[in-house]
Amino acid sequence: MSDFSSVVEFFHSLLRWGVLLSVAIAGFAALRGYLRRSPIIVWERSLSVLAMVLCHVQLVVGISLYALRWESFAVRPTDEMRFWKFEHVGTMVIAIALVTIGRMASKRAKTEPGKQLRVAVFYLIALLLMLWATPWPFTEMGAARGWL
């Protein structure tokens, strides 16, 4: 079971880059479009949808990894256990919800600048939350992990 868990963890870590890049590019492209008052281009809309889909795939992979590693939480130190059980999971769920809300709100907006503003605000706030809750190698929780 631990081999399968390691494969899921690797996929989860690899998918992180796709999620972060797509959310960042979609958010900044929407912000640029809003500030320039330019029309929404097809690739911008497609990227915002792709970012939302990747976020949901990442959530499913993360939940399955959480389920596979449930027993290991009992033997972790309390700080590490708190980070993985509450801070990481909770923040990522909120960030993914923000991406979803931003995409749905942009669909309901009446004007193109309104659509772009909603995507920009929700996606960039979600990006900040994702960056904060990711166990980077230079942090205490990610010290034993690599960049991939």
pLDDT of 147 above 80:
no
Residue 47 is predicted with a pLDDT of: 96
Q: What is the pLDDT of residue 59?
A: 96
Split at pLDDT 50, 70, 90, the class of 104 is very high
Q: Which residue has the higher pLDDT, 143 or 115?
A: 115
pLDDT digits (tens, 9 = 90+) for 3-53: 888 899 899 999 999 999 999 999 999 999 999 999 988 999 999 999 999
Q: Is 0.95 topped by the overall pTM?
A: no
pLDDT 10s digits, 49-100 = 999 999 999 999 999 988 888 777 667 777 778 888 889 999 999 999 999 9
Per-residue buried b or exposed e for 13-39, using 16+ beta carbons within 10 Å of the residue's own CB: bebbeebbebbbbbbebbbebbeeeee
Element (H, E) at 72: none
Q: How far apart are CA 27 and CA 95, in angstroms?
A: 13
